[in-house]
Amino acid sequence: MLFRRRKLPGIRERLRIALWPRRSVGRSLRYFGKRVLRLRATPHAIAAGFACGIFAAFIPLLGIHIAVAVTVAWLIGGNFAAAIIGTTLGNPLILPFIWAATLEAGSFVMTGSLSADPLPHHLGSMLRHLDFAVLWGPLIKPMLIGAVPLGLAAALLVYFPVRWAATSFQDRRKSGFRLEKVAEPT
């Protein structure tokens, strides 16, 4: 490989980079934004795919975000790469906030009122044993129910700005190509 490191980073350094980017968070966000805008697809497909990824990031079951995002993108005609990039919203820094919001929303939908303490008092012992059947009722079910409206709202909130950005980026790119053709010597 042409630009490979001589000394590969250890597990500790790779974990640090996964949790906190080497350059900066802003630069990483701009990079992902450029990756989405430079995809070769229609603006609708890019925006729909990215929105599917955002929706899938709200699902509390780790490990299925990409599968859900790609499946939903396939159903609505979204771009698969944009869907996968959209799932990066579900990173270790943001997931606790998403999970707290989905738990609150799910508890509200199930009970019809806001509860003062949506978490069970014996949550620590429940998490120590990691029994899916025990966690289902008080934790996973409300989170799954709350993930649907919050995920749909976030997807709709993201769809229109991404579609506008993709349209304007592609229009600027096309006009730049036209100017290059005009400027070529004959």
Tens of pLDDT along 85-103? 889 877 777 888 888 888 8
Tell the residue number behind the tokens 């096309």, with chain if given. Answer: 174
Residue 57: inside a domain, yes or no? yes
**Whether this model's pTM surpasses 0.85:** no
Q: Is 180 inside any structural domain?
A: no
Judge whether 130 lies within some domain: yes
User: What was the pLDDT predicted at 142?
Assistant: 86
Assigned domain for 84 exists: yes
- Distance, CA of 32 to CA of 30 (rounded, Å): 6
**Structural domain includes residue 156:** yes
Q: For residue 183, is it within any domain?
A: no
What pLDDT score does 61 carry?
84
Give which of 102, 133, 103, 134 is closest to 117, Cα–Cα. 103
pLDDT band at 53 (very low <50, low <70, confident <90, very high): very high
**How far is CA 147 from its chain centroid?**
13
Domain assignment of residue 19, yes or no: no
Q: How many domains does the chain have?
A: 1
Domain membership of residue 17 (yes or no) is no
Residue 65 belongs to what domain range? 26-165
Residue 88 has what DSSP assignment? G
